[in-house]
Structure 1
Amino acid sequence: MDFSNMELMLKVFWVVAILASLVFLVQTIMTFTGTDASDGLSADFDGSLDGGDAPFQLFSLRNLTNFLLGFGWMGVTGYQSFSNKSLLVAVAAAVGIVFVLLFFAIIRQVQKLAEDNSFNIQKVLGKTGEVYLSIPAQNMGKGKVQISVNGSVHELDAITQGEKIDSGAMVKVTDIMGNNLLVVTKL
């Protein structure tokens, strides 16, 4: 079928489907190459961007593209099947909304895979480690302990309330004083 001989509604569906597909392809390539559209945009302003816990915006170019992708291709593929064109537009809009919801579901699942590897001193409480620099007895000075947290070894200051603990001894963290001082006992 020749484009110039198509009905206007079918032409619109084709144009929307092809343009949305091209934008989607460009967005996908930019995502996989690490050059997202937001990289080139910057602005100086005073204000808060607190949007709650929403990881993505409902009204964005990406969601508009997803909606138009579903809308356009449903319109193209269903044009011959639907005699009621108003019903076709409604079904195409519903498919567009499903595309946006599917995108939200995929992003939510991807975010669940994210791992927070930032170091939090509270994660060492109850863990065991190895004394790197001997720890003087009865809080008389600091030593150093090496502890593995999330697969990374951290060297932290430590004190003990008991006897001196020599280098190489295994210890357990029983308390945390201040921001980064461990209280340990020998195992």
Structure 2
Amino acid sequence: MEILFWSCLSGGILYAVITVIFGDVISEALDGALDFLSGDTLPWLQPMTLVSAMTIFGGAGLMLSRYTALGTTVVIIMAAMIAIILGIAIYFLYVRPMENSENSTGYSIQELGGKVGEVLVPIPSSGYGEVIVNVGAAGVAGQIAASFDGQEIPMGSKVVVVDVKEGTLLVSKIEL
């Protein structure tokens, strides 16, 4: 039984070390092949939660078998209960809060299509100006813009982003 406990403990530790050192490299190499493990269907079924529980099972089993006079069956049951309880605690105290905190303030210029903005620097009929657009969590951003319709757009005008080409927003004036 000690072999099982040592295997679980060392396997979990090895998984943690490999994930910390090579996690990004492995993720790039597999390119989403293991996304089914993300836990969308069963949110508590996360690799971190499962491997943590397995490691805890191994460690608790080793300690219970060495430092108590309990029988093998009782040690396995108690180690499993400890692993389940601490695995649940890890999920609710670490994994779940971390999932909810992953808010990015980054945005792609391609996402700005359809957004409403305001002209900061007047846009000539065949040239460039600047508009300010609300980009969600990132706040507002000033972007280079050109007129989609080929019409001059004065400063302070409300515009809508019709298209994005070569890093330039193509905007059209909207009447409110």
Q: Say if 1:27 and 1:36, in contact at 8 Å, map to a contact too.
A: no
1:87 maps onto 2:74 in alignment: yes
TM-aligned CA distance change 1:52 to 1:97, over 3 Å: closer
What stretches of structure 1 of length at least 5 have no aligned partner? 1-8
Indicate whether 1:147 and 2:132 are aligned.
yes
Q: Could you say which residue in structure 1 is the equivalent of 2:107?
A: 118
Q: 1:145 Cα shift?
A: 1.7
Contact 1:75 1:88 in 2 (8 A): yes
The one-letter code matched in structure 1 to 2:171 is: L
How far is the alpha carbon of 1:121 from its aligned partner?
A: 0.8
Aligned counterpart for 1:101 among listed residues 69, 85, 88: 88
Q: Is the 8 A contact 1:71 1:95 kept in 2?
A: yes
| 8 Å contact kept, 1:63–1:100 | yes
Structure 1 residues 144, 121: closer, same or farther in 2, change over 3 A?
same
**Aligned partner letter, 1:121:** L
Could you tell me which runs of 5 or more consecutive residues in structure 2 were left unpaired when the two chains were aligned: none
Gap change, CA 1:52 and 1:16, over 3 Å in 2: closer
TM-score, normalised relative to structure 2: 0.57
Bigger-Rg structure (1/2): 1
Instruction: Choose from 99, 107, 120 the match for 1:130.
Output: 120
Kept after mapping to 2: 8 A contact 1:145/1:158: no
Distance 1:94 1:183 in 2: 63
RMSD: 4.5
Task: State how far apart, in whole Å, the 2-side matches of 1:28 and 1:155 are.
Answer: 45
Q: TM-score, normalised by structure 1?
A: 0.55
| Shift in Å, 1:78 | 3.1
**As a proportion of its length, which structure holds more helix?**
2
1:36 alignment partner, SS class: helix
Q: Percent identity?
A: 13
Q: Which moved more, 1:110-119 or 1:82-91?
A: 82-91
